[in-house]
Structure 1
Amino acid sequence: MTMHHPHDRATEAPATLTWPGDRLLPDQVRAALCGPGAPFERATEDVLGVPTEVFVRRAPHLPALLAHARDTTPDLPYLVFEGVEPITFGRAYELVAVYARVLAGHGVGKGDRVAVAAPNTLEHVLAYWATVSLGAVLVGLNGWWTGREMDFGLALTEPVLLLGHGEPGLRAEATPWMRASGTAALLLKDLHGEALAVPSGAALPEPGIAEDDPAAIMFTSGTTGLPKGATISHRNFVFFSQHGALGGAATALLDGARYRQVPPDVQRASLVVSPLFHVSGAGITLTSAPASGLKLVFPGAGRWDAERTLRLTHEHGVTQWSGVPTHYWRILAHPDFASFRTGQVTMAGSGGAVFPPELMRHIQETMPGVQLGNGYGMTETLGSGTLLTGLMLERHPGSVGAAVPTVRVQIRAEDGTPLPEGEVGEIHIKGPGVFLGYWRDPEATADVLDGERWYRTGDYGRLDGDLLYLESRIRDLILRGGENIYPIEIEYRLVEHPDIREAAVIGVPDKVLGQEVKAFVVLEEGRTLTADGVRAFARETLAPFKVPAHVEFRDALPYTETGKVLKRVLEEEHAAAG
Structure 2
Amino acid sequence: MSTPPVATRTDERGIRHYDVALPADLVDMLRRTVAARGDHPAFVTPVGTTTWAEVGAETDGLARRMRAAGVGEGDRVAVLAGNGLPFTVAVLATWAAGGIVVPLNHRLTPADLGALLADSGADLLLVGADLAGAAAEAAATVTDRSIRSTVADAEGNFLAGEAAADLPASTPGAAAPAAIMYTSGTTGRPKGVVISHGNALQNAVTCTTVIGRRPDDVELVMVPQFNITGLCSQTVPVVLLGATAYLLDGFEAGRALDAARDHGCTSTVGAPTMWWRMLERAAERDDEALGGFRLSLFGGAPMPTALLQRMREAMPQATLGNGFGMTETCSMITYVGGEDAVRMPHSVGRPLPLTELRLRRPGTDEDAGPDEIGEIVVRGGQVALGYWTADGIAPLTDEDGWVATGDAAVLEDGFVVLRDRLKDVIKRGGESVFSFEVENVLHQHSGVLDAAVVGVPDEQYGERVVAHVVAKPGHDLTPDEVRAFCREHLAHFKVPAVVEIRDELPRNPGGKVVKAELRDA
TM tier, shorter chain? Answer: 0.7 to 0.9
Give the unaligned 5+ runs of structure 2.
426-438, 469-495, 503-521
Look up the SS of the partner of 1:309 in the other structure: helix
- What's the CA shift string for 1:318-358, capped at 9, x where partnerless? 11232122222222222454344443211211123332111
**Measured at CA, do residues 513 and 233 of structure 1 come closer, stay the same or move farther in structure 2, by a change above 3 Å?**
farther
CA displacement at 1:284 relative to structure 2: 4.0
**Measured at CA, do residues 137 and 126 of structure 1 come closer, stay the same or move farther in structure 2, by a change above 3 Å?**
same
- Please give the alpha-carbon distance, in whole angstroms, between the structure 1 residues aligned to 2:285 and 2:40: 29
Look up the SS of the partner of 1:475 in the other structure: helix
**Which of 45, 52, 75 is residue 112 of structure 1 equivalent to?**
75
CA displacement at 1:570 relative to structure 2: 6.6
**Aligned position for 1:76:** 40
- Residues 1:347 and 2:284 aligned together: no
Q: Count how many residue pairs are aligned between Structure 1 and Structure 2.
A: 457
Higher relative contact order structure (alpha carbons within 8 Å, sequence separation ≥ 6): 1
CA displacement at 1:475 relative to structure 2: 3.2
**Aligned position for 1:488:** none
- What's the CA shift string for 1:205-233, capped at 9, x where partnerless? 44441212111111113465211111111
Q: Conserved in 1, the CA contact under 8 Å of 2:218 and 2:267?
A: yes
- Please give the alpha-carbon distance, in whole angstroms, between the structure 2 residues aligned to 1:152 and 1:198: 29
Percent identity, please: 28
**Aligned position for 1:187:** 151
- What's the CA shift string for 1:425-445, capped at 9, x where partnerless? 111111111011110178995
**Aligned position for 1:296:** 245
- Residues 1:321 and 2:268 aligned together: yes
**Aligned position for 1:546:** none
Question: Which amino acid counterpart does residue 338 of structure 2 have in structure 1?
Answer: G
Q: TM-score, normalised by structure 2?
A: 0.79
- What's the CA shift string for 1:453-479, capped at 9, x where partnerless? 1110011011222210101112339xx
- Please give the alpha-carbon distance, in whole angstroms, between the structure 2 residues aligned to 1:284 and 1:209: 21
- Please give the alpha-carbon distance, in whole angstroms, between the structure 2 residues aligned to 1:299 and 1:111: 30
**Which of 390, 406, 416 is residue 468 of structure 1 equivalent to?**
416
CA displacement at 1:574 relative to structure 2: 3.2
- Please give the alpha-carbon distance, in whole angstroms, between the structure 2 residues aligned to 1:443 and 1:233: 14
- Please give the alpha-carbon distance, in whole angstroms, between the structure 2 residues aligned to 1:508 and 1:186: 48
Look up the SS of the partner of 2:424 in the other structure: coil
**Which of 12, 29, 54 is residue 65 of structure 1 equivalent to?**
29
- Please give the alpha-carbon distance, in whole angstroms, between the structure 2 residues aligned to 1:330 and 1:368: 18
**Measured at CA, do residues 320 and 149 of structure 1 come closer, stay the same or move farther in structure 2, by a change above 3 Å?**
same
- Residues 1:55 and 2:19 aligned together: yes
Question: Which amino acid counterpart does residue 346 of structure 1 have in structure 2?
Answer: R
Stretches of 4+ moved more than 6 A in 1? Answer: 441-444, 506-513, 516-520
**Measured at CA, do residues 168 and 226 of structure 1 come closer, stay the same or move farther in structure 2, by a change above 3 Å?**
farther
**Aligned position for 1:366:** 314
- Please give the alpha-carbon distance, in whole angstroms, between the structure 2 residues aligned to 1:140 and 1:507: 32
Question: Which amino acid counterpart does residue 434 of structure 1 have in structure 2?
Answer: V
Question: Which amino acid counterpart does residue 296 of structure 1 have in structure 2?
Answer: A
- Please give the alpha-carbon distance, in whole angstroms, between the structure 2 residues aligned to 1:577 and 1:171: 34
Task: Let me know the Cα RMSD of the aligned residues.
Answer: 3.4
- What's the CA shift string for 1:106-132, capped at 9, x where partnerless? 111110001112211211110110001
- Residues 1:568 and 2:465 aligned together: yes
- Residues 1:44 and 2:7 aligned together: no
Give the unaligned 5+ runs of structure 1.
1-18, 35-40, 253-261, 478-505, 521-556
**Measured at CA, do residues 312 and 62 of structure 1 come closer, stay the same or move farther in structure 2, by a change above 3 Å?**
same
**Which of 388, 391, 402 is residue 439 of structure 1 equivalent to?**
388
Q: Which has the larger radius of gyration?
A: 1
Look up the SS of the partner of 2:499 in the other structure: helix
Look up the SS of the partner of 1:216 in the other structure: strand
- Residues 1:397 and 2:345 aligned together: yes
* More displaced stretch, 330-339 vs 567-576: 567-576
Q: Conserved in 1, the CA contact under 8 Å of 2:194 and 2:388?
A: yes
